[in-house]
Amino acid sequence: MPHILLIDDDDLFRTMLRENLEELGHTVTEAHDGKEGLAHYALAPTDLVITDLIMPGKEGIETILEMRKKWPGVKIIAMSGGGRVSATDYLQTAQKLGAGCVLRKPFSNDELTAAINQLLSTTRP
């Protein structure tokens, strides 16, 4: 099964999501922010990256931009529950900057599985 890098600053949410992904058979590496996520990916690239957008330190949009610059073929799912502006605005920006799929928190396991399957079944040009 695919190896997924999961980046989210919310420890409880990240743990719950990791457990769900592992139940689906995925191997998961966790990072608490974009800086840590980029370091993990540089050492051991994964099949897919799932990143939150609003995090302290290096947030999701910066992380997506840097990943796209360094590794153009990386497959990314962006997720957000919102912040100072609506989650939809953040997610639209993430998609324009390189996220292959976006998920608005809270999302179902079926939505997550569909996004993972969609990205892993396509190849980037």
Amino acid 46: pLDDT: 97
Q: Answer whether residue 10 shows pLDDT above 80.
A: yes
How crowded is the C-beta side of 73, counted as CA atoms within 13 Å? 8
Tens digits of residue pLDDT in 66-109: 999 999 999 999 999 865 555 568 889 999 999 999 999 999 99
Q: Are 50 and 5 in contact (CB under 8 A)?
A: yes
Strand ranges for the chain from DSSP E: 3-7, 27-31, 48-52, 76-80, 101-104
Q: What is the pTM of this model?
A: 0.93
Taking only the tens place, the pLDDT of each residue in 30-57 is 999 999 999 999 999 999 999 999 999 8
pLDDT (0 to 100) of residue 125: 41
For the record, the structure tokens of 104 come out as 């608005």
Rounded CA separation 46/1 (Å)? 11
Residues 6+ apart with CB under 8 A from 20: 109, 112
Q: Which of 37, 19, 39, 36 is nearest to 28 (CA)?
A: 19
What count of other Cβ atoms lies within 10 Å of the Cβ of residue 125? 5
Domain 3-120: give its CATH architecture.
3-Layer(aba) Sandwich (3.40)
